[in-house]
Every structure is written in C-alpha cells, then in structure tokens.
Structure 1
C-alpha cells in the first residue's frame, strides 16, 4: 500500500472561521486556501491551514442536513479524516476495500493545469475516515480545481511546530485488539508498543500501531471494565463513541515552544512539583535541564533509543474532548510508560477542576 506520511488532518467543526482564528492566533497556523460555494461546494465551507509540514483542513456545514452538521451534532468539533500520503490512491483504495474496509468515497481526480491530486477514502475507527492522497505537480495546490489556494499573510516568526507525530485514539472497551488487527490487516501497520496503566481504582490498556514507513503512528486506548470509570470513559461518553482524543505536533525545542504558545494564549495542563522531585531517581539525568522542565511543566520519558519530552494542552472545547500535545523527540522512537500515566492523571485533574 506504500503509505508515506500524514498528508493532512480534516476537522469537522461548527464554525470553520472561528476554529481557524483560534489555531492561527494560538498555534501560529496560517490560512492558505478555501473551498465553498464559490468553488462548487454549495453546502460546506473548508479552510486550509498550514504550519511547517502540518496541513489541517477545517470544514463546516452550511446546511443542517449536511453530513458535517450531523457529525458535529453527534461528536462536537473533532477529527473526521486522517489522510495518508500514497503513491497510488486508487490502488491503495482497492487494496483496502479488498481487505474488507468500508467505502467512504470512491477515487476522485482533482486536476487543474499541470497539477493533479487523486483521493479516495475508507472508514477507519468510529466515524473517522482515512483519505488516500496521491499528488502530482505543485504540492501547494491542495485540491486543484476544488480548493482555491490563497496567499497567506507573512508569518511573524519561524514555525513552532513541524509535523504530526501521532494521534491518540480512544475506543470502547473490548475494541482495542480488534482495532489493532484492523490496522494490521487493512493498512499493513504493525504494533510497536503496548502498556497497561493503573491509576488508583482506574485502568486503561494501550497499544501503538505504526505504518511501515514509520511516519504514521496511532496510540490506541481503551478503558478497562470492572474498574472505576475514568477519563477514557468520560471521553467516549462526551464524544459519543470512538474518536481522536489528541493530536501530537512535533517541535525541535519544547522548552522554548511551550512558553511561546502560552504567550499566544494556549493553556497547558499542570504537572505537580513532586513529578520533578522524583524525576532523576526514576530516569537519571534528563537531556534537558530539570529546572527548565519544571518551569514549563514538560514531562520526560525514555525508550531504548532515547528520550521523549511532552506536554498536553487543556481541551479548548465545551465537551472537553479533543486536545493537543506538543512533543520533542531526542532519539526516542516510541513512548515511555511514565508519561502515559502522567497524562492520564493530568487529564483527570483537569476534569475535576472544570
């Protein structure tokens, strides 16, 4: 199937203009294109946002019975499509369907001038689809003939964020193993990490799958039945089923990026001082100064290859479902178990103070 990187992530939102304003103001994205009635799509409005190698599409319905309106009514604002870069979209689509994936959109060719983009979509988990994207020509022309590319305003600073590192996905109890098997069978992913996390009377199970290219990574999480309901249960109830809990965006200097984002208005989860008091005893001396980590609330963990530094935002949504992660990898290829538990505890604290 030859899946490369994440081509783009599409959000279905109640108000694309408002969502774009937040992401541009707080995270430094820039609007680079739009689609709607003027481009032959009378029932919806889409905005194209970019920063570094990250591409987001924000789509809103213009009519109450549009599928986007139905999605937002059911789930709130959230990720609706994680698109994969491929060399042959029609071939990847045919292979996925042959492997029992559910069809969302048959192959479509978008063409204008010398630029051509072929897309096709199949269902992934819950209501989230995967779009295969094959590009020929100028990659800046996102969907030739379908989306009007606009000249973005000059960025005042260098990009703070570079790529989509991974997506964290919550699935109902009992669906973790079948979802892993689905991604292995349909898309050729492989499991690279697993962890069982206990926090007090709550517990969750997690497995990480990754594309053969190593550029698409999904952390899959399910609650454990028979334990006290926790924040994974809360997400599933508030979101209305399986969905993307957070997207992780890569930075190359997290102790500089976090304060820069905070100055723009991004609110991050707090980390207790005790976490840093115990850090060197648990991991040894981290590659970044403990004082800088404490000042920025950044978490640190490690795997066999190196260390990973992470911090999670508060959810900006009324349902307190989707949120963002900023991540900085110093050689680490997977995830350490300590940060997963720390995230679980931090989100739980945020929910109790809401």
Structure 2
C-alpha cells in the first residue's frame, strides 16, 4: 500500500471544489445528491442503447468547480474529449455554467460553476409537488457527503485511466495498492486513487488481477459491459446510528463472519490507537474497522442496488485515517465471493484468463 504526498503543481486558475452530484441513467427514476434520469418519451436512442449495454448505472459524476472555462480549456489542450462546450443555464435563482468531458468507458464528468446561484439544486429543479408524509417518520440516514467514487476498469486499463486524470484534470496520485496486498484465495485486484489538489475529490481506479477464479472486478466489467462506476462511498459522522437507521429503512448490507471480529479484537490489543465505538455493537451491525498508527475508519458496503451485480454503496466514517479500508478488502471480497458464487460467477480461470466452469 502506498500513500503519496506530492500533489503536483497547484493550478493557477480553475479549482475543483468537491463532488456535486451523480447522475444515474436508469429504466425507472424517482430519487437525489443522486439524480436519477430515465427516458420520458419514446425513441431516446442514446439512453436506450446505454441501458441495453450497461443496465442501470452511473452515467455522470459532477464536480463543482471554480473557473469552468479555464479547466475545460486546459483539459482540451491536453487532449481530453469535450463532450459539450461550456454553456449557461439560469432561472429566477441565478445562473450556473456547465461543461461535460469524457472519462472512462461511457462515463462523463460534468463541471459546474455556480454563478451566485441560490436555488434548491440547479436551474430548472423545483420542490416535488407531492411529499409523502410517511417519509418524515423514517429515521435519518445521517449521510453527509460523497467521500469517494470508485471506477472499475478492464485488466491493464487502470494505469492509463489514472494517468488521464493526472494529465487532463491535473489530479495527483493519492494512494495505491497492488494485487500482492489485495487478494483472497481466489481473486485479486489493483487500485490507484487519484485526487484533486485540495484532496476534496478522491477517485479510486480498480482493475482485476489474475487469480484462481474470476475477480469480482471482472464480474462487474462483464455485467456492466466495460468500465464504469462500481461504488459510491457516503461519509457519515455517526456510522452506528446511520447503519441502524438504514437497516430499519430496508437497506441490505454485506456481512462478514464472526471470526473477523475475533481477529479484530486481537489486533486492537497491540494497536497504538483506540476505537471509541463498542466492538460488540460494530459486530452486531457488521461494520468493518481498518486502522494504522494514526487513526482508523469504519465502513460497510451494501449489496448491489441494481438488477445486475454492478453498482453498490459504501458508508464510511473516518477518524484521522485517509485510507480506503485495505485491511478489510480480504474480508469484504470473501463476502462478495459468497454472493458471486451463488450467482454462478465464481468460476475457475484457465491460464489465458478465461472462465472455466468446474
């Protein structure tokens, strides 16, 4: 596992502020920070082809920026594909400037610059005409902001994608880990995390590594039809209440065996940090813990939230720890492999990397 301290040259103009929102293209839309878009009228071939190929999934990851024009100009000069040149939308609440650039697979990034915009979300968005009174009775999810967004790539495409962010958006390498560190008895992966200069936006880029059986990263690529967003991590300041409430609302999460917590208790006996939360409660909720000598994080992952085993969500709480749970990856992947095996996709690999059902 490698952490990087070199942020590169600080951009003179054009600053990335934070994640703004993610737009899903889905067969049926009703929800938001997530925007769910579905075709209203017949004949929407662009969205139709995307859904046939990928199923429901993330089409766009939006960043709020300063000086949208400057960022687009620099990205274009460095060879980025500008899907849509900067344009302005406005309503009675003010103006917002947008631009769209192409990233991995069929995924895009919308760059948006709020020009003193004071509205609810973005121009054209209005409060719902009907608010279900039952929603007020549901417990709060206590989710605060997008912590990171993970993109899965086919084998050998991780490094070129990471380099794309470095070259075109002036992001830098923040963290990385290889398959010697991230593996189970059956599968493995590699990951590079890139971030903007201020490190308010973090984008892990994963690829499968050859193991005895098909990696869950490869399963994603197969089902999604190429590169795409695998999971979205949502930050909370109270993960115990958050997960308690989300489970009460019906969210399904991955589970790990009790042996994980037996080993965790042993590891924490000699650790330099102390976990504030009650370990018995973390075990009850199946929340994972990763730590180093400076701090720790708490995390848990949902089961796939689409029909295909593609996109899922993570809930994460950080205590002076900016990693991504590398110490938990083995336990997480083993839990995913149980579901993967139930789908019939935890197949043995032949020497050329192809699946062989046994």
Same fold (TM over 0.5): yes
Q: Which runs of 5+ in 2 are unaligned?
A: 1-13, 344-358
CA pair 260-226 structure 1, distance change in 2 beyond 3 A: closer
CA shift in 2, pair 1:304/1:243, >3 Å? farther
Correspondent of 1:224 among 209, 232, 236: 209
CA distance in 2, matches of 1:326, 1:187: 27
The separation in 2 between residues aligned to 1:79 and 1:11, in whole angstroms, is 4
Deviations 1:308-347 (A, max 9, x none): 1000001132211111111111121222421222222221
- 1:21-40 per-residue CA deviation (whole Å, 9 max, x = no partner) reads xxxxxxxxxxxxxxxxxxxx
CA RMSD between the two structures: 1.9
1:107 aligns with 2:86: yes
Contact 1:201–1:228 at 8 Å: present in 2 too?
Answer: yes
Q: 2:283 aligns with which of 271, 294, 297?
A: 294
Instruction: Please say if 1:331 is aligned against 2:320.
Output: yes
1:190-229 correspondence to structure 2 within 5 Å:
190-196=172-178, 197-225=182-210, 227-229=212-214
Gaps of 5+ in 1: 21-48, 50-54
Residue correspondences, number:
318
**1:274-297 CA distances to partner (integer Å, 9 max, x unpaired)?**
000000333435332210110000
Contact (CA 8 Å) 2:96, 2:117: kept in 1 or not? Answer: no
Please name the residue that 1:60 is paired with.
38
In structure 2, how many angstroms separate the alpha carbons of the residues matched to 1:166 and 1:343?
A: 17
The structure with the larger Rg is 2
Counterpart of 1:86? 65
Distance 1:13 1:276, change over 3 A: same
Query: In structure 1, which of residues 324, 342, 350 is the aligned counterpart of residue 339 of structure 2?
Result: 350
The change in CA–CA distance for 1:133 and 1:303 in structure 2 (over 3 A counts) is farther
What residue in structure 2 maps to residue 319 of structure 1?
308
- Give the Cα separation in 1 of the matches to 2:185 and 2:86: 48
Q: Which residue of 2 aligns with 1:180?
A: 162
Kept in 2, the 8 Å contact 1:280–1:286? The answer is: no
Instruction: Indicate if the aligned counterparts of 1:10 and 1:79 stay in contact, CA closer than 8 A.
Output: yes
Q: Are the aligned partners of 2:140 and 2:245 in contact in 1 as well (CA < 8 Å)?
A: no
For the residue of structure 2 that corresponds to 1:183, the secondary structure is helix
1:142–1:149 Cα contact (<8 Å) kept: no
Name the counterpart of 1:258: 243
In 2, the alpha carbon distance for the partners of 1:63 and 1:247 equals: 30
Distance between the aligned counterparts of 2:49 and 2:292, measured in 1?
41
- CA distance change for structure 1 residues 107 and 226 in 2, over 3 Å: closer, same or farther? same
Higher strand share: 1
Assess if the C-alpha contact under 8 Å between 1:75 and 1:240 holds in 2: yes
Which deviates further from its counterpart, 221-230 or 324-333? 221-230
CA–CA distance in structure 2, aligned partners of residues 159 and 235 of structure 1: 27
- Deviation at residue 112 of structure 1 after TM alignment: 2.2
Task: Verify the 8 A CA contact 2:78 2:168 in the aligned structure 1.
Answer: yes
**Structure 2 residue matching 1:16: 3-state secondary structure:** coil
